[in-house]
Amino acid sequence: MESRLEGRINVTFNVFTLMLYVHAVILSPLTFEMHFLRRFEITLHRNS
């Protein structure tokens, strides 16, 4: 009984970490691009 519960918890934890990893991989470049573009726009406005 306990071992089955442990296995279920392990599977849930693995899925959760996998989702977190996918979120990090997908969202990190997006946020980085947004920050980069915002900084680029600010420098453009400053130059003009």
pTM of the predicted protein model: 0.49
Residue 25 to residue 31: CA distance in whole angstroms: 11
Domain ranges of the chain: 24-48
pLDDT tens, position by position, 11-46:
999 999 999 999 888 888 888 888 888 988 888 888
- For residue 10, name the pLDDT band (cuts at 50, 70, 90): very high
Predicted confidence band at 1 (pLDDT cuts at 50, 70, 90)?
low
The reported pLDDT for the residue numbered 46 is 86
